[in-house]
Structure 1
């Protein structure tokens, strides 16, 4: 009835392996983020804007596609591989960096103004600022 802790851990490892086979994308850690979550993003607000930072090193900024439509901010593009082509004298032992096409969709708040969007790319970070509508900003009312 009682098992040693080594048996228990062996059984837990076996169960984890089975789950990994059934749900391969349910892994944790930085390696599991590649593909489905590239680029990694931070989204926040200030009193006057929605700020988005996409951590996307190795991109050609002229090839990025950034659109705003129906309250959704879409960041799309492609990151090319920097690896040498495999041949007789080259082989790759590890390739953990995401390459290929990507697309991230961010839902914007109702007070975001789609006509006032600014984007810049520097040091591998894409910064997008979506201004808030003037009508949604607080304003001071003078009393006469």
Structure 2
């Protein structure tokens, strides 16, 4: 595939050619997971942060990771998750490997309502669930409206 098509009696417009190149690259990067190549891989576990009225919940996918290989700290309203996913068997030859291994580090700035003193974590079935309580004074509260 040529990035710049060859045309007869055509004057080269660099701006137009760069725009076409950008469109091609956007399609390539936006094509999603279906066209994943052999060299593409995730470098850290996926995570979701969910808010409820009483707390924040952080869900982290950590399949195959032992809890002794995970470190979780909170400092200056920043939560840091570090760990290592060790390789399974070095003697096997992979024809395609889409799982990841190695050390990782993820940091998340906690919202102002988060209480760093109310953090607990549980690893179950390959999912780390971190519960972060909210400060009492910042929790939303219902105010009754009186009619006179």
Q: Which runs of 5+ in 1 are unaligned?
A: 1-9, 20-24
More helix by share: 1
Q: Aligned pair 1:65/2:56, yes or no?
A: no
Q: Secondary structure at the match of 1:39?
A: coil
Tell me the TM-score normalised to structure 1 length: 0.71
1:76 match: 82
TM-fit CA distance, 1:84: 3.3
Q: What is the number of residues matched between the two proteins?
A: 122
Q: Aligned pair 1:120/2:122, yes or no?
A: yes
Question: For residues 12 and 136 of structure 1, what CA distance do their matches in structure 2 show?
Answer: 55
TM-fit CA distance, 1:56: 1.2
2:8 match: none
TM-fit CA distance, 1:70: 1.2
2:14 match: none
Question: For residues 73 and 67 of structure 2, what CA distance do their matches in structure 1 show?
Answer: 14
How far does the alpha carbon of each residue in 1:4-61 deviate from its partner, in whole angstroms, 9 at most, with x for none?
xxxxxx3359958x96xxxxx99852854511xx210011100011110001100001
Q: Aligned pair 1:42/2:48, yes or no?
A: yes
Runs of 4+ aligned structure 1 residues displaced above 6 Å come to: none
Question: For residues 142 and 29 of structure 1, what CA distance do their matches in structure 2 show?
Answer: 49
Distance 1:83 1:75, change over 3 A: same
Q: CA RMSD in A?
A: 3.1
Q: Secondary structure at the match of 1:11?
A: coil
1:100 match: 102
